[in-house]
Structure 1
């Protein structure tokens, strides 16, 4: 049985293009695979707190020695890691904010990037422990960040792909919805391009 995890983070909620396309992709993938379960982690509707002392100290403190706050912070991270580990397919929607991903998505990664749990240091190298997953990354941006001169400023895509690979998720498909801030015609072209990319991915994923 396939299990898909959908993570969305656009501050525009369901109106955000990254959320719209990521959601559409996850639902259509699920429809192509009878028996598939789909878990939705909407970081806009239910944002995570940014990590703090309770989490940072709590995760290296023995369970029976944790304070209540530490126990709660670690338990949340454990549930997020379990949710991610259970998925064989991960779909992430990210809207560019000041050249990077939205802060709620950064907070999610800060909870699931966990030494000894989702990655480990071994023989002077790092090994990601969340291997064997297919990842679909959907990014939205006002400018055309897949091309120069803006490509050098695309800290969103590079950062997210780096973290995914760091955790062992190296099989990544990327759909861009970009150039949407250049007027109605550019928006229409961006949507058409994203539609084409989405349909192509679904065709090959079938």
Structure 2
């Protein structure tokens, strides 16, 4: 049994969203003791020069203003650290992830906090976690040469140490909605709780 799930939704649609439906079904199947919800329909702040400056200021030298600029990022990282499993619901918008999910990624990928650079390259610091990505698309086939969403998510999750990544895809819905949804439901049924 999964203890804590971080359930992230990034679809702009708050109703009739395939990814929201799939991610909720996945979270229910996992039957976690605790669910941390993060709905990115309420956008996060984008990185700016002041935030970058705060981030690269050593923690013991940050001003109160810099600490305040990093507070949202710190809270998002705390959610990630608390979770055993991360469930991400994301549509493919224009071959990639929604800008709201990219904003979340920018806020959680922090050197010295979720990854480090070493002599042999970057090392993720959030090891031992599982991620399940619920993705939907109108025409883009998940894992294809034009899918820059799931490939990007797998890479960035691995970059911060989360290498156990599974995909539940309701892709190419415009071409075969019934078949695509059935394949996604079968993938959810096959997930180990």
TM-score, normalised on structure 1?
Answer: 0.87
Indicate yes or no: 2:19 matched with 1:18. yes
What is residue 138 of structure 1 aligned with on the other side? 134
From 37, 41, 50, the counterpart of 1:40: 37
Change (3 A) 1:115 1:65: closer
Indicate yes or no: 2:189 matched with 1:199. yes
Find the aligned partners of 1:82 and 1:52 in 2 and give their Cα distance. Answer: 21
2:81–2:126 CA contact under 8 A, matched in 1: yes
Show CA shifts across 1:139-183 (max 9, x none): 111114147xxx11100111110000111100111110111123x
The correspondence of residues 48-67 of structure 1 with structure 2, limited to 5 A, is: 48-62=44-58, 65-66=62-63
Corresponding residue pairs, total: 191
2:6–2:79 CA contact under 8 A, matched in 1: yes
1:143–1:179 CA contact under 8 A, matched in 2: yes
Unpaired runs of 5+ in structure 2? none
From 148, 151, 171, the counterpart of 1:155: 148
Unpaired runs of 5+ in structure 1? none
Find the aligned partners of 1:106 and 1:141 in 2 and give their Cα distance. Answer: 17
Find the aligned partners of 1:14 and 1:160 in 2 and give their Cα distance. Answer: 24
- Richer in helix (by share): 1
TM-score, normalised on structure 2?
Answer: 0.93
